[in-house]
Structure 1
Amino acid sequence: MTVSIGDKVRLISPMSYLKTADPMPMLRPSDLVGSDESGAVVALHPLEIAAVRFRRGTFLIPLDRLCPAGVEDEKQG
């Protein structure tokens, strides 16, 4: 999947933990991001990693774990 800064995305499936996008990253529990929550891409990192801002923080997430936010909305509607 290709993304650009500002794109709205959501997690495909829950992750076992979330890594913060802080200067000194920390591992956080996965329940900070809900399965129905969408976030905005704020930075792109090497190795297919995106920094995504969700309601409870900004986390580093592999691109293969993300999908565009509108995809799930269209399937449900």
Structure 2
Amino acid sequence: MSKEFTIGSKVRVVALPPYVKTADPMPMLRPPDVIHLGEEGIVLDRRPGGYWGIRFAKGAFLLDSQYIESIDTPTESHTDLE
């Protein structure tokens, strides 16, 4: 049920997790206030466990797909449903 994103696409934070993991080779937990609701980032890669590596202004972090949404999606598909 996890969303799929394209490497290099832009995403936006839609909810803050209880903590965030850094995207370092040895991930470390950080408080959720290192990123902000609505902050935009670029997808770097897909990681094990359903995490996405995302580059934000303050660094690269691992987030589950439930906390992010794509902002590169074309809006044309909504008119086809009407």
Judge same fold: TM > 0.5, yes or no: yes
Gapped regions of structure 1 (runs ≥ 5): 72-77
1:48 is matched by which residue type in structure 2?
G
Of residues 34, 37, 58, the one that matches 1:56 is 58
From the two aligned structures, give the one with the greater helix fraction.
Answer: 1
RMSD after superposition: 1.5
From the two aligned structures, give the one with the greater strand fraction.
Answer: 1
1:30 is matched by which residue type in structure 2?
P
* Structure 1 residue ranges, 4+ long, deviating more than 6 angstroms after superposition: none
TM value normalised by structure 1: 0.81
Of residues 41, 44, 47, the one that matches 1:45 is 47
Q: Percent identity?
A: 38
Q: How many residues align?
A: 71
Cα deviation per residue 1:3-45 (whole Å; 9 max; x = unaligned)? 0110101122111111001011100111111112100000111
In 2: Cα distance, 1:53 partner to 1:27 partner: 16
